[in-house]
Amino acid sequence: MTKNRNQHVVPHPRGWAVKPAGSDRASSLHDTQREAIDRARDVARNQKSELLVHGRDGHIRERDSHGNDPYPPKN
């Protein structure tokens, strides 16, 4: 059984990494932030979790929920 863990896109010495929340190791490494975001978004959609994109300074600059959003927009 796979855990639905949020996916973080973080700076890495060799480019950008996709790291599941709570993990010490990256699940994938990428040359560009765009490639890392695309991969992390696919994983977050499959796991119905959240995507968190960090800037070079390490601060979260973007979030995207692909799961059970407690505050969905009203139509």
Percent of the chain with pLDDT over 90: 79
The confidence score (pLDDT) of residue 67 equals 74
The secondary element (H helix, E strand) that includes residue 25 is none
Report in angstroms the alpha-carbon separations of 10 from 1, 17, 66, 70. Answer: 26, 5, 19, 25
Distance CA 30, CA 50 (A): 19
Is 90 exceeded by the pLDDT of residue 36? yes
Q: What is the pLDDT of residues 5-34, one digit of tens each?
A: 999 999 999 999 999 999 999 999 999 999
Distance CA 54, CA 75 (A): 30
The parent domain of residue 44 ranges over 7-65
pTM: 0.85
- Indicate the number of domains in the chain: 1
Mean pLDDT of 26-51: 97
